[in-house]
Chain A
Amino acid sequence: MEPIQIIQILAFLSLTTFVFVVSGKKYVAIYRNISMGKAENSSPDKSLRWKNMLRIALGQGKMFTNLPVAILHLCVYVAFVFTQIELIEIFADGITGSHRILYNSIQFSWFTGLYTAIISTIEILSLLALIATFFFLARRNMLSIPRFRKTEMEGWPHRDANIILYWEIVLVTCIFLMNGADAALHPDEYRFIFSSNLGPALLGGLSENTLHLLERIGWWGHITGVLGFLIYLPYSKHLHILLAFPNTFYARQKPAGQIDNLDSVTQEIKLMMNPDTAFAAVDPAAEIPTFGAKDVGDLTWKNLLDAYSCTECGRCTDQCPANLTGKKLSPRKIMMDTRDRMEELATFRKSSSEEHDGKGLLSDEYVSVEELRACTTCNACVEACPVMINPLDIIIQMRRNLILEQSKSPEEWNALFNSIENSNAAWAFPASDRLKWTEN
Chain B
Amino acid sequence: MELQVKTMAQLTAEGQSVDVLFWVGCAGSFDDRAKKITRAFAKILQNCEVNFAVLGSEEGCTGDPAKRAGNEFAFQMAAHMNIDILNGYGVKNIVTTCPHCFNILKNEYPSLGGSYEVMHHTTFLQNLINEGRIKLTDADVFKGRRITYHDSCYLGRANGIYEAPREVLAQLDAELVEMKSCKSKGLCCGAGGAQMWKEDEPGEERINTRRSREMADTKADIVAANCPFCMTMLRDGVSKQNLEGKMHVFDLAELIAAGQGIQDINLD
Contacts and interface: CB of A to CB of B under 8 A. Distances in A.
B160 interface: yes
B111 interface: yes
Interface stretch (B12-20, B74-82, B140-148, B239-247): B74-82
B39 A380 contact: no
A31 interface: no
Interface string B70-91: 1111101110110000000000
Which secondary structure dominates where chain A touches chain B?
helix
Contacts of B193: 375-378
Given A321-B210, A396-B68, A425 B60 contact: yes
A433 B59 CA distance: 11
A434 interface: yes
Contacts of B259: none
A46 interface: no
A420 B68 CA distance: 13
Nearest to B185: A319
B194 to A, nearest CB: 6
A415 interface: yes
A176 B42 CA distance: 72
Given A325-B205, A377-B68, A382-B157, A404 B73 contact: yes
Contacts of B3: 438, 440
Contacts of B70: 292, 396, 398-404, 409
A370 B201 contact: yes
B197 A412 contact: yes
A165 B69 CA distance: 41
Contacts of B76: 261-262, 265-266, 269
Given A269-B80, A425-B60, A413 B198 contact: yes
A313 B157 CA distance: 21
Nearest to B155: A257
A258 B108 contact: yes
Interface stretch (B27-35, B122-130, B163-171): B27-35
Interface stretch (A4-12, A86-94, A326-334, A353-361): A326-334
B69 A399 contact: yes
A438 B78 CA distance: 24
B154 interface: yes
B63 A420 contact: yes
B61 interface: yes
A424 interface: yes
Interface in A422-440: 424-427, 429, 431-438, 440
A421 B76 CA distance: 10
Given A433-B29, A434-B59, A438-B3, A325 B210 contact: yes
Contact of B192 (A258, A373, A376, A434): A376
A321 B190 contact: yes
Contacts of B207: 321-322, 324-325, 376
A435 B59 CA distance: 10
Contact of A437 (B39, B57, B60): B39
Contacts of A322: 201, 203, 207
B248 interface: no
B158 interface: yes
B178 to A, nearest CB: 15
Interface in A245-304: 254-259, 261-262, 265-266, 268-269, 273, 291-292
Interface in B196-249: 197-207, 209-210
A420 B56 contact: no
Given A321-B190, A377-B192, A327 B72 contact: no
B57 A432 contact: yes
Interface string B44-69: 00000000001111111101011111
Contact of B66 (A416, A438, A440): A416
A334 B58 CA distance: 41
Contacts of B176: none
Contact of B65 (A269, A328, A426): A426
A435 B80 CA distance: 22
A57 B222 CA distance: 41
B94 to A, nearest CB: 16
B209 to A, nearest CB: 7
B8 interface: no
A206 B56 CA distance: 92
Nearest to A319: B185
A265 B73 CA distance: 6
A383 interface: yes
Contacts of B192: 376-378
Among A292, A398, A403, A420, the one with the most B-chain Cβ atoms within 10 Å of its Cβ is: A420
Contacts of A325: 190, 203-207, 209-210
A346 to B, nearest CB: 27
B197 A413 contact: yes
Nearest to B198: A412
B137 interface: no
B61 A426 contact: yes
B82 to A, nearest CB: 9
B111 A434 contact: no
B74 A421 contact: yes
A386 to B, nearest CB: 13
Contacts of B190: 321, 325, 376
B107 to A, nearest CB: 4
A430 to B, nearest CB: 8
A39 B118 CA distance: 30
A417 B66 CA distance: 6
Contacts of A415: 197
B153 interface: yes
A425 B68 CA distance: 15
Given A326-B203, A412-B197, 15 more contacts: A255-B160, A256-B158, A256-B159, A258-B108, A261-B72, A266-B112, A291-B72, A292-B70, A321-B207, A328-B202, A377-B193, A425-B60, A431-B57, A432-B57, A437-B39
Interface of B: 3, 5, 7, 24, 26-30, 35, 38-39, 42, 54-61, 63, 65-74, 76-78, 80-81, 103, 106-108, 111-112, 153-154, 157-160, 184-185, 187-188, 190-195, 197-207, 209-210
17 contacts: A259-B68, A324-B207, A325-B205, A326-B203, A377-B192, A378-B157, A399-B69, A413-B198, A416-B65, A416-B66, A419-B61, A425-B29, A431-B58, A433-B30, A434-B56, A435-B54, A438-B5
Sorted nearest first, the 5 A-B pairs with minimum C-beta distance are A257-B158, A326-B204, A399-B70, A424-B60, A377-B193
